[in-house]
Structures are given as C-alpha cells and as structure tokens.
C-alpha cells in the first residue's frame, strides 16, 4: 500500500516522537545526520574552479539511503524535517539529490519544538529548501576543510604527527593562550582599604561598618602601609558626622529567556554541567521524552538559537500560569518583550523554553533522569521568571564625614521578591549590602568611631576562563555561533591543547606552541577580528546579501599566501619549535631539545637518528590540579605524566606516595555499573582503558574514550582513533560510526556521524 507521505528527520529519537502523533498516514524515518560530505582521503575542494565541493556519499550510509529511497518511491509526498538550522538545511538539500524520484514533491518542514501543534502547523505551511542557508553551510564547510587539511600537515612536520588546526577552534585556543600569558606576566600591586566600625552615641548597640570611599572628593589611593596609617591616624583624630542619608527603591528586572550561550553559561555555573553535557541533555529534552499519560513528547523548543524572542502564545501561557500560581502581584501589566540584540542574531528561532509551561518540573520528576530534570528545571524557571515582575529592594546609603574623608555604608533589604521567587541567575549575584539593615541615623548626627581596620590587598591577575566565561567571551567577540560553542570547547580539550585545572581552562605547553606557530605564520586567518568578520560574512550569505564563492575567495587569497610562505620555511619552524634546554644528553653530550609526544612534552637528543636518547621533561609544569582528593590522606591529587603516561599523584609526596589511575571523564557503559573508565597498562606497558571497578567489572577498550555521544546510535561516548588515511577522528565502538574532529564548525552540537567501518 502506498504511503501518503514520508517525513525524514535526523535522529531516530525524533522519528520515534513524531511517529507517536502523526498517525498511520505518515511514515517517519531518520537519516542519522548527514548523508553526504567532503571525502576524507583528499581535500575535496576544487580550488581552481570556484571552490566546488566534491561531495561523496558518506561511507556506511548505504543501508540508510537504500531504505530512504525505497520509502520515497512509495510516497506521494516527501517532507524533509532535519533540524531548523544551516546544517539541517544542507542535509535536506543532499537528501533531494540522493533520493531521486522526480515525480515526488519535496517540501521542507520548519518546526522549533516537537509537539503535535507545532508539527501540524509546519505541515500546513511547508516551504522549499532555502539555498541561501545551504550556501552558508557550504561556505563554512569549505573554509574549514581548506584550513584543516592544509594547515594540519604543517603542524605534523614541525611539532608532531596527528595534530590538527581549525579555523574557529584555533582562534578560541589563542584567546585562552593569551589569557594564560597575561596571568604569567602579571605583577601584583599593593593597595590598602580601611573599614571603620561606627556607633550611635545615643544607642551603643546600634553599630554598623563603613568603608573609606573618598578623600578630598577623590577615590582613595592607598598604595602602602604608611599611606594607610596616615589615614588611620587622621580618622582617630577626627569626629565622625553623618554627611548624608540616601534612601531609594531599587528594581532588578529578570533576565531574558535562555539562548544557547546563556543556557550553557548558567548550566555550568549552577549545575556544573559542561557545555557538551548541557547540549546533549537539551537535545534529549527537545527530541522527546516519554511522559506518563502523554506518550513521547518534546519538552523544550530548539536549543540552538541566539534569539531571545518568544512566541506570543507561549508568553500568554506563562502569564496565565503566573496569575494562577503566584497571584496578580507577580504579573506585569503587559507582556515582557525581549528584542533581538544585534543584526547578526538569527531571529527565526525562538528562545529556549518549555513547550508547555503546565509541565512543571515537579510533574515530570518520575519521567526524567536526574540530569534531565535539573536542566529542564533551569529552563522552565528562567522562562517563567522572564515574564514576572522585577524584584524590589529598599536601599539605604549612609555617608559619614571625618574631616575631608567619607566612610560609606550600604544596606539593602528585599521588599518584594518578584521574579526571584522562581529564578535567581548565577550572574545576578547579590545586591550590595543585601540583608544588611543600617541603624536609623540623621544627617548631621555625630557618631563614635569604635574601631578602624586597615587591610592590605594585592591586585589579582585576570582569572583563567571557565567553559562559561570562554563562551561569553567568544560570543562577545563574534566568534562562533550557538551551534558551535560546545564543539569549540570539546575539540580543544580533546586535542590536549587545553586541560581543565580545577574547572578552569589552562593552555598546555602543546597548545601554546601550536598557537605561536599558527599566529606567527597565519596572522590574518587566526586573528580574532578576522574570524568574527567571517562569521558575519556567513550570516550575509544566509540572508542573501553576499555570494558564497566570493566570501570563500576573499578568505582563501590571504590564507593561500600565508600557507606558501610557511611551507617554504618548514625546516626553520621545526627548529624554532624544538627549544634547546640546558640538559646535556648523557649519551653524546649535545644539549637536549624539547619535543612533543602523545604523552606530552619530553626532552630528546637533537642527534637523532644517530642518538635516540630521550628523557621525561621534569618540573612542576607536568602537574595539573584536579578536583580529586587522595583516598589515603585527603590531600589534593594532581595529574602527572610519567614513563607510562598520565596518572594521579598525591600532592603530599613524599610523606604520602599514593597514586591512582587517570580518569578520562567517561562512565563505564556496562549496565548497572557506576564505575569510571581509567587509563591502565598491560604487563607489556601497552595502554588500554578499563573500569575502575575491576575485578567487579571487566569492561575494557584499547582506544581512548572521548565523552562525545554518538549521533547515530546515542551511545554515551566514542573513541579517539588516528590513521594516516583518515587522520584523527572519533569512532563509535557500538555502531561503528565515525565522527570527524576536523569538521569543527559543524552547526550541530556534536560531530555528525560521518561513516561506518574501522
């Protein structure tokens, strides 16, 4: 029997959700992500003929395509419903090329939440494929391939085989490296503050603290202890008098609903979820969860967006809920409208919100896993709060004069909680003096200064980036887009260019060396402003303001010239990277040089191959802080690199010599096992990865697991592989799918499944 209509989506989970409410008149199948891409074995871009991409069918997609073609032949209508972004548009376009059957009408469906109402609306208003979006994706893909396939070999020749460069990730790495160097170059500067304890003469129990705020009308500049002591002496000799009392009502408005970057930032700050974990869980909530009494339903709107716009019906739903649950006093007279912030905002999408505000977090407690519930609660709370009244504070500021000096005290008392009844953002912080009540004093009233406390301080270096602050900085600089932030962070961590040090992102020696080489030889391509302009150019292609071949040509012209110059001096670059040390080779007496291997930097004799002597590179730089504590003495544990790779060591050494296996951040996949995968060695020193619950659990892998879920089969992790033919890539041990690390700017949160096989 002929199907009336075929709907093609990306993931099996989304297909399952749609099938639940589309009914028997529709067949819903999944493409498993991209079906076509540039070939892995060659550049795949015809530079001489307008950068024509030489797409090939992704290896391993044969069975999927066969099923889709057969279904398309039976269908009277084919609806293409990949994700509503550039990457999804490209998938839809490739499907039309691969499925054939000219008698079938192909239509594109746009829906930003997977609910019956949204899908039925999309079916009633199908559209044609937007070639501007396709061309924007194509331009991005071509530029990434040109950089990845032409710069990476330079890194192989000069630093070590297997390294890779990326058009966007390398710029993000540069931002981290430059911050690391700011920290290293920072020179602390001493300064002093002064705090006074004041008391009402008429009521000795009425005391409050005030901080020195001005001297002779200017902010205090106390650089030394002597400066501070002079002020202390002057305060002791003077008479404190209330100079002014200011009382005002301060209102704090709620934050806009989440977009991708702010969701990742607050999720990290409040839940300690990495950007990758946040997007993985958000994808699950978007694609559908089995809710008792409803079946499988999408719980949130599309999670890759830089818009804070909300649909009018969603706002009205929220306002009705607020009125019923919290009362009229929490409801603004008019809906709160959040406008898009810039010309580059892609406003076709809404903000991230629950698909139904009536599905409260409490009502879904039994349907969601703990991580899903925590993230859904964050999204739900922020959405509801954004339509509530501001929080109101009564703020009192008291200035006390002592001669020409002013001591200032601030008290802030919550008057009305407003939106904070539901949600307080990590970035909100506290009001100055919040919770502090100042005594009732009057202008001109004399006070007693009971205590003066001078405090020494030193200026602090800028902090290292966390995932949240890096994403905020990249967004502010115009680097990347909502779909790429998580991939940016994941990629530089996977490449060992950056490590996490107590949650902060710290550039490794390898990351610094790679950055220096790229910046020196490609000053335009890996420059922050240049990369931001390229993102803007991609947006112009999508809106039809620019032509994709022109944008790529303008990009490739300076890049090609830089590439030629770098190739000419590859030997010189290699010598520059291999820094000479003061350590002499025991075998031949030469000064050893610093090189990079798979386990980090080491010293090697420059006389290779005649002299093959190597030795570990000692020093504290090899110890990386972690959140782990020693099970024996409770001291912090650090990551160190030894002869057989990375391991955890107690910082109390030599008093405590406890060590432990290095955890790779991936949970054991065995059912019911709560273990973690750790690095281990065989008797012949070959590395493998096994469960830390051994011998209770004997799960093991030869390849290094990476916490990137497989988009083809939803396995929780993939493994890192590296071959001369394919270069570095990720491989799913469960379904054999392969994900390209090189495809760094993919407009989906995780790398798409690229091909099957080993």
Express each pLDDT in 158-187 by its tens digit.
Answer: 888 778 888 999 999 999 999 999 999 999
Spatial separation of the C-alpha atoms in residues 310 and 300, rounded to whole Å: 13
Q: For 360-416, how does the pLDDT look when each residue is reduced to its tens digit (9 = 90+)?
A: 999 999 999 999 999 999 999 999 999 999 999 999 999 999 999 999 999 999 999
CATH architecture of the domain with range 5-129: 3-Layer(aba) Sandwich (3.40)
More confident residue, 435 or 402: 402
Residues 189, 459 contacting (CB under 8 angstroms): yes
What does residue 285 show for φ and ψ, rounded to 5 degrees?
Answer: -65, -35
At the top level of CATH, the class of 190-253+391-458 is mainly beta
Q: Are the C-beta atoms of residues 295 and 116 closer than 8 Å to each other?
A: no
Rounded CA separation 493/704 (Å)? 13
Q: What is the pLDDT of residue 749?
A: 26
Interval 109-159: pLDDT, tens:
999 999 889 999 999 999 999 999 999 999 999 999 999 999 988 888 888
Interior/surface letters 296-324, b for 16+ CB within 10 angstroms, e for the rest: bbbbbbbbbbbbbbbeeebbebbbebbee
726 vs 39, 261, 468, 707, 719, CA distance in Å? 10, 32, 32, 21, 14
d(CA 250, CA 414): 10
Q: Summarize the confidence of residues 315-339 as an average pLDDT.
A: 94
Six token digits for residue 730? 């990720």
Confidence band for 631, pLDDT divided at 50, 70 and 90? confident
Task: Give yes or no for residue 685 having a pLDDT over 80.
Answer: no
Supply the pLDDT for residue 547.
Answer: 96
CA 411-425-277 angle, to 5 degrees, is 150
**592: helix, strand or coil:** strand
Please name which of 570, 556, 455, 601 lies closest in space to residue 50, comparing C-alpha atoms: 556
Q: Is the pLDDT assigned to residue 619 strictly greater than 70? A: no
For this structure, is 423 an active site residue?
no
pLDDT band, residue 755 (cuts 50/70/90) = very low
What's the order of all strands across the beta sheet hosting 676-681? 663-667, 676-681, 687-691, 700-701
DSSP sequence for 652-683: TTTT---EEEPEEEEE--STT---EEEEEE-T
Between helices 370-385 and 275-287, what is the axis angle to 10°? 80
Question: Which pair of structure tokens corresponds to residue 738?
Answer: 């392969």
End-to-end CA separation in angstroms for the chain: 39
What's the CA gap between 645 and 306, in Å, rounded?
A: 41
Looking at 278-287, 424-433, 655-664, 733-742, which range is the least confident one? 424-433
Q: Looking at 141-145, 347-351, 602-606, 641-645, which range is the least confident one?
A: 641-645
Q: Using alpha carbons, select from 261, 285, 289 the residue that is nearest to residue 275.
A: 261
- If pLDDT is split at 50, 70 and 90, which confidence band does 723 have? low
Tokens of 133: 């979006």
Strand partners, 6: 27, 78
Q: What local confidence, expressed as pLDDT, does residue 102 receive?
A: 66
Q: How many CB atoms lie within 10 A of CB 340?
A: 14
Cα dist from 420 to 248, 330, 390, whole Å:
20, 10, 8
Query: 260-385 is classed in which CATH architecture?
Result: Orthogonal Bundle (1.10)
Indicate the domain borders of the chain.
5-129, 140-186+465-488+495-576, 190-253+391-458, 260-385, 578-616, 703-758
- Nearest C-alpha neighbor of 275 from the set 18, 78, 465, 484: 484
Q: Which of 302, 423, 485, 720 is catalytic?
A: 302
140-186+465-488+495-576 fold: Topoisomerase I; domain 2 (1.10.460)
């Amino acid at each position: 029997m002929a199907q009336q209509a075929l709907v093609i989506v990306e993931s099996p989970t989304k297909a399952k959700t749609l099938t639940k409410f589309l009914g028997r008149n529709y067949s819903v199948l999944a493409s498993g992500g991209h079906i076509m891409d540039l070939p892995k074995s060659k550049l795949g871009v015809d530079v001489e003929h307008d950068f024509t991409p030489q797409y090939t069918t992704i290896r391993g997609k044969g069975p999927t395509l066969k099923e889709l073609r057969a279904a398309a032949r039976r269908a009277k209508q084919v609806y293409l419903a990949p994700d509503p972004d550039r990457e999804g548009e490209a998938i839809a376009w490739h499907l039309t090329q691969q499925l054939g059957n000219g008698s079938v009408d192909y239509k594109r469906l746009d829906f930003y939440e997977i609910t019956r109402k949204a899908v039925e609306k999309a079916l009633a208003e199908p559209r044609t494929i937007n070639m501007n979006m396709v061309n924007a994706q194509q331009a991005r893909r071509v530029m990434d391939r040109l950089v990845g396939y032409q710069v990476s070999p330079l890194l192989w020749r000069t630093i070590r085989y297997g390294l890779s460069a990326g058009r966007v990730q390398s710029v993000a790495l540069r931002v981290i490296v430059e911050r690391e160097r700011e920290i290293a170059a920072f020179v602390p500067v001493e300064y002093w503050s002064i705090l006074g304890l004041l008391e009402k003469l008429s009521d000795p129990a009425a005391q409050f603290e005030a901080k020195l705020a001005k001297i002779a009308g200017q902010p205090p500049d106390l650089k030394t202890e002597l400066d501070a002591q002079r002020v202390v002496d002057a305060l002791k000799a003077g008479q404190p008098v209330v100079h002014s009392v200011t009382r005002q009502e301060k209102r704090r408005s709620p934050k806009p609903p989440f977009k991708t970057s702010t969701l990742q930032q607050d999720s990290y700050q409040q839940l300690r979820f990495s950007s990758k974990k946040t997007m993985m869980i958000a994808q699950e909530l978007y694609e559908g969860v089995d809710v008792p009494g409803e079946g499988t339903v999408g719980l949130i709107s599309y999670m890759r967006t830089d818009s804070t716009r909300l649909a009018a019906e969603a706002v009205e739903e929220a306002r009705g809920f607020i009125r019923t649950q919290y009362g009229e006093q929490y409801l603004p007279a008019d809906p709160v409208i959040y406008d898009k912030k810039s010309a580059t905002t892609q406003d076709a999408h809404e903000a991230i919100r629950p698909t139904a505000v009536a599905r409260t977090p409490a009502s879904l407690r039994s349907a969601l896993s703990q991580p899903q519930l925590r993230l859904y609660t964050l999204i739900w709370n922020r959405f509801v709060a954004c339509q509530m009244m501001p929080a109101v504070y009564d703020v009192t500021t008291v200035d006390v004069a002592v001669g020409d000096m002013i001591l200032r005290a601030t008290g802030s008392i919550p008057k009305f909680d407003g939106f904070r009844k539901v949600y307080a953002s990590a970035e909100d912080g506290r009001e100055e003096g919040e919770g502090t009540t100042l005594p009732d004093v009057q202008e001109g009233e004399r006070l007693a200064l009971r205590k003066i406390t001078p405090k020494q301080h030193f200026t602090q270096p800028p902090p290292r980036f966390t995932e949240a602050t890096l994403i905020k900085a990249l967004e502010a600089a115009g680097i990347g887009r909502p779909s790429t932030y998580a991939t940016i962070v994941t990629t530089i961590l996977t490449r060992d260019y950056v490590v996490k040090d107590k949650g902060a992102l710290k550039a490794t020696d390898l990351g610094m060396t790679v950055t220096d080489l790229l910046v020196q030889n490609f000053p335009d391509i890996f420059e922050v402003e240049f990369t931001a302009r390229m993102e803007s150019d991609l947006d112009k292609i999508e809106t039809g303001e620019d032509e994709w071949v022109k944008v790529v040509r303008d990009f490739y012209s300076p890049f090609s010239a830089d590439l030629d110059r770098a190739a000419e001096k590859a030997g010189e670059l290699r010598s520059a990277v291999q820094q000479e040390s003061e350590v002499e080779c025991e075998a031949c007496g030469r000064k050893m040089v610093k090189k990079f291997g798979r386990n980090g930097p080491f010293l090697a004799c420059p006389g290779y191959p005649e002299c093959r002597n190597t030795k570990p590179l000692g020093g504290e730089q090899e110890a990386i802080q972690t959140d782990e504590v020693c099970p024996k003495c409770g001291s912090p544990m650090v990551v160190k690199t030894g002869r057989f790779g990375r391991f955890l060591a107690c910082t109390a050494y030599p008093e405590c010599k406890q060590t432990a296996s290095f955890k790779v951040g991936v949970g054991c996949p065995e059912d019911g096992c709560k273990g973690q995968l750790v690095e281990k060695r065989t008797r012949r020193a070959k590395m493998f990865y096994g469960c830390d619950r051994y011998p209770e659990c004997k799960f093991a892998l030869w390849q290094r697991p990476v916490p990137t879920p497989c988009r083809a089969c939803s396995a929780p992790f993939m493994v890192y592989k590296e071959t001369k033919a394919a270069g570095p890539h990720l491989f799913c041990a469960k379904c054999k799918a392969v994900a390209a690390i090189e495809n760094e700017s993919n407009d989906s949160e995780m790398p798409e499944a690229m091909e099957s096989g080993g």
